Amino acid sequence: MIKVYPSEVIGKDIKLVKLAPTIENLRVVFDIIVANREEFRPWLEWTDSVQKPEDELPLLEGDKDSAEWFIKWNNTIVGRIGFVKLSEKNNLGEVGYYLDKNAGGRGIMTAAFELLEKNAFENWGFNRIEVKIDPDNKKSLGVVKRLNYTQEGVLRQDHFINGVYRDTLLFSKLKSEYKSK
């Protein structure tokens, strides 16, 4: 697995980009979170902790060395995708993502995920990609099903969010199962 990830990953219709920690970029990220707070809240425990643009400063400062990017579509930042957990020893990563509801239904997240997967398997030395999804998150389930991820099981009541213990579905794809497009 590589240790330094590129600042930009270019796809056909989208780009995955790192954002400099400028006030303009902080505002862009903050505005997406505010506009989607209700949509994100059931799945992302950090949603309510973002109360002002500056709350995203540690995120953007840490992105320089991370395996996470913002999704740029039609010259606009519309979401985020990347590896929220990595195991160099095991050559695997767990993907996390979110998308502005106004960008939904256009295949953007599927395209971003495909771009991330392609680079992970073809260029960055990954053997396995994992995705953990709440069983009620139908949009995320649609993405992994379109990309032919295998459901491996249910992690029963493995996370506590919004005052409730929730199950998580574990999906994966191996490099040997990946088919280049």
**Predicted TM-score (pTM) of this structure:** 0.94
Q: What is the pLDDT of residues 128-165, one digit of tens each?
A: 999 999 999 999 999 999 999 999 999 999 999 989 99
CA 161 to chain centre: 18
Q: What is the pLDDT of residues 82-111, one digit of tens each?
A: 999 999 999 999 999 999 999 999 999 999
Q: What is the pLDDT of residues 19-66, one digit of tens each?
A: 999 999 999 999 999 999 999 999 998 999 999 999 999 989 988 889
DSSP 176: G
Give the pairing of strands 150-161 and 128-133: unpaired
Structural tokens at position 57:
């400063």
According to the model, what pLDDT value does residue 63 have?
Answer: 86
According to the model, what pLDDT value does residue 181 have?
Answer: 64
According to the model, what pLDDT value does residue 172 have?
Answer: 98
Which residue, 51, 56, 130, is CA-closest to 94? Answer: 130
* Helix 108-122, helix 138-146: angle, nearest 10: 50
Structural tokens at position 83:
């590896």
Q: How far is CA 113 from CA 25, 104, 117, 118, 131, in A?
A: 22, 14, 6, 8, 11
Give the pairing of strands 128-133 and 92-99: parallel
Please report the domains of the chain, with CATH numbers, ordered by start residue. Answer: 8-131 (3.40.630.30)
CA distance linking residue 112 with residue 42, whole number of Å? 22
